[in-house]
Structure 1
C-alpha cells in the first residue's frame, strides 16, 4: 500500500487542548491549533498583538452594543490607558452609561425573564439581563444638559465635545475607571458619529430647549477622523459589533482616497460580532467584501470572530495584557490645530 502522500493542505495538524495550569495568554496560544471560533479568537489576539508591534500604526476601535451596562467598561479603559487602542469610535449610549457610572450611579444584575410591565411600574429599565433606574438616567440627562450650558455658542466636532466632557469628569474627580476621562487623560480621541441617537443627544436637546446653542458638527467628525488615517503610516481596526462605528471607520479609506491620499485600505482588521453576512447588513459583512470598496487592504490580516463580545473582550484583553506588560510600544500622539489641521508624532509608551 502506498504511503500517505503529504500535500499543501495537510502540513499543520491540530493540537488538542489539554487541561493544565496556565495563563490566559498561554491558553489562547494553544487555541491557535484548534478549530472554529476558538481558533479565530486566538488569531484575533495574534493579529492585535502584531499591530502593537508595528513601528507607526494607529489602532482604531469601533464600539457598539451595550458594553458598558454589561460590565465591559474597565476593559475598554485598560485598552485606552495602555494604548492598545489609539482612537475610539463609539455609540453615544456606551459613553452615556460610562458617564452615568462615573457619577456614582450603577447598573444592576437582573434577569431577562423579569416581567417588563412590573419593571416599568417600578421605574426600572431592562437591557436584556441588566437593570437600571430610569429616574437616575434622567438625572444624568440633566447633568449633561447643565454641562452643555457652559459651551453656549460653540461649534465643535464630537471629538472636541467628548474631550471637554472627559476633562470635566476628571476635574470633578470621577475620571478613574471612566472611558471618557481616561481618553482625555491619555490623549485618545473619541468620535460619536451618531451622537443624537443616545441619551447624550437627549441631554443636548434639553439644553437646546432651554436656549443653549451647542452645535456638534458631525461632518467635522468625518474630516477629523479621515485626517487621522491620512496622517498615520498604517492603520488597524478592531470592531466590537458593527453598526455606525464600523462604517464610520471603514469609510475613512474611501474619503481619504477621494481627497487624493495614496492609500488602499486598513492594514489590519478584527471584528467580534454575532451578526452574519448573508442578510446583507454591514454589521455582519465580511472584510473580503470591504476589500471591494477599498476599505480594507487586499493583503490585510483579517480576522472575524463570531462570538458574544462580553465573552471575547475579557479574554482578549487579558491575553494582550500578558503579552505586552513588559513591552514598549510606539503610539501616535495627535496634535490638533485650531484650524482643524492635524499632525501625528509617534512616541514610545
Structure 2
C-alpha cells in the first residue's frame, strides 16, 4: 500500500534562458503547491479546447479591467478560447470607459484618500481613475447609447450588452474592447448584476431624467443562460474570481437538469481566485462542494488555483496562445429565436 503513494517524484524547475511560457507551465506540473495548480490550470483549459463540441463559460469578477486585464479577456474572446462571458457590471463599465479612449492610471495604495476625494480621484487599491471622466462616460451611456434601446421591451442583460457592442462598433471604439470583441465574435455576454454598476445606474438615469421606459428583465437572464447549458453538447466553466458570475454559471447546470431530467453538470472546471472555502461563501467554495449540488460533473477534470488573477491569468493566456498557435475547434454559434428559444450549431473554425 505504501508504494502507491510514492510513485511520481517531483521534478525541480530548471532555468532555461529563452524558455517559452507554455514550456514553463508544463514544467510546473512537476512541482508543488500553487505552482503545480497553475500548470494544471493551463492543462485543464487546453483539454476544454480539445473537446469535440464544448461550450466554454467564463465568469469574470473583481476589478480586472482597471487592473489591466482587458486585452487578455478580449484576446480569449477573439480566439474563441471562451464562448460565453458572464461579468460584473463594473468590468463592463470600465471596459466601455476605456473603449471611449479614457484611461485608468498607475497609483499607489500608500496615499491620503481624503486628498484624493478632494481632487475627484477614485482609487482601486493602487489604480487611480478620474471621477470627472467617469461622469462623462455615465452621460455618454445615458444620452448617446440609451436612445438605441426601445421603451417597454423586456431586455435581458445579454441583449443590452449586444446592443452596446453594436453601438460601440458604429462609434468607432478601439478593437481591444471586451464588449466590442464579443459583439464581433458572436460571444454572448451576460451581466446578472447589471444594475449594481455605473452601467446600470446610467440606464436608470435615462428612465428617470429623460422619460424613457427601458426594462431589464432579470428572469429572462436566467432563462436564456440556462438554455445554453440545456442544449449544449458539453459545457465547461472557468472562473476568474467568484461572486455573482460564478453562481450564475453554476446554477445553469441545476436549472438545465431540472428542465431536461438529465445530468447537465459541467464537464471541466477551472477557478483562479484568492477566496477560501472555510467561510462558506460561494466565491471560495470548492468544485467538490459544487459536485454535491450537481453543478460540476462527478468525473470532471477540475482545478482550483489559489492565486492573484492579475498574476496567473496573463501567464495562462500566453501559455495557451503558444500551445494553440493554430487553434481549430468546433465553435458554438448561438441562434436566438422568439420567446427566448435557442439553437446551438457547431461551426469548425481556424482561430
TM-score between both structures, scaled by the size of structure 1: 0.97
Q: 1:149, CA displacement in angstroms?
A: 2.6
Q: Distance in 2 between matches of 1:44 and 1:144?
A: 37
Choose 38-47 or 138-147, whichever is displaced more. Answer: 138-147
> Runs in 1 of length 4+ with deviation above 2 angstroms?
none
Q: 1:113, CA displacement in angstroms?
A: 0.6
Partner of 1:88: 85
Q: Distance in 1 between matches of 2:64 and 2:261?
A: 34
Partner of 1:217: 217
2:226 pairs with 1:230: no
Q: Distance in 1 between matches of 2:204 and 2:173?
A: 24
2:123 pairs with 1:126: yes
In 2 relative to 1, CA 329–260 (structure 1 residues): closer, same or farther, beyond 3 Å? closer
Q: Distance in 2 between matches of 1:8 and 1:325?
A: 38
2:149 pairs with 1:151: yes
TM-score between both structures, scaled by the size of structure 2: 0.97
Partner of 1:286: 286
Partner of 1:44: 41
Aligned pair partner of 2:73 in 65, 70, 76: 76
* 1:322 alignment partner, SS class: helix
Aligned residues: 345
* 2:339 alignment partner, SS class: coil
* 2:326 alignment partner, SS class: coil
In 2 relative to 1, CA 150–327 (structure 1 residues): closer, same or farther, beyond 3 Å? closer
Choose 148-157 or 294-303, whichever is displaced more. Answer: 148-157
Q: For structure 2, which runs of at least 5 residues remain unmatched after alignment? A: none
Partner of 2:3: 7
Aligned pair partner of 1:17 in 2, 13, 17: 13
Q: Distance in 1 between matches of 2:60 and 2:258?
A: 26
1:175 and 1:182 in contact (8 A); partners too:
no
* 2:128 alignment partner, SS class: strand
Partner of 1:253: 253
Q: For 1:100-119, list aligned pairs within 5 A.
A: 100-119=97-116
1:2-61 deviations in whole A, cap 9, x for unaligned?
A: xxx971111111100011121000000000000000000100100000000011100000
1:80 and 1:183 in contact (8 A); partners too:
yes
1:230 and 1:261 in contact (8 A); partners too:
no
1:51 and 1:236 in contact (8 A); partners too:
yes
1:194 and 1:244 in contact (8 A); partners too:
yes
Q: Distance in 2 between matches of 1:333 and 1:128?
A: 39
Partner of 2:323: 323
2:293 pairs with 1:297: no
* 2:59 alignment partner, SS class: strand
* 2:322 alignment partner, SS class: helix
Partner of 1:263: 263
Partner of 2:186: 187
Q: Distance in 2 between matches of 1:150 and 1:170?
A: 13
2:156 and 2:218 in contact (8 A); partners too:
yes
2:22 and 2:323 in contact (8 A); partners too:
yes
RMSD: 1.1
Q: For structure 1, which runs of at least 5 residues remain unmatched after alignment? A: none
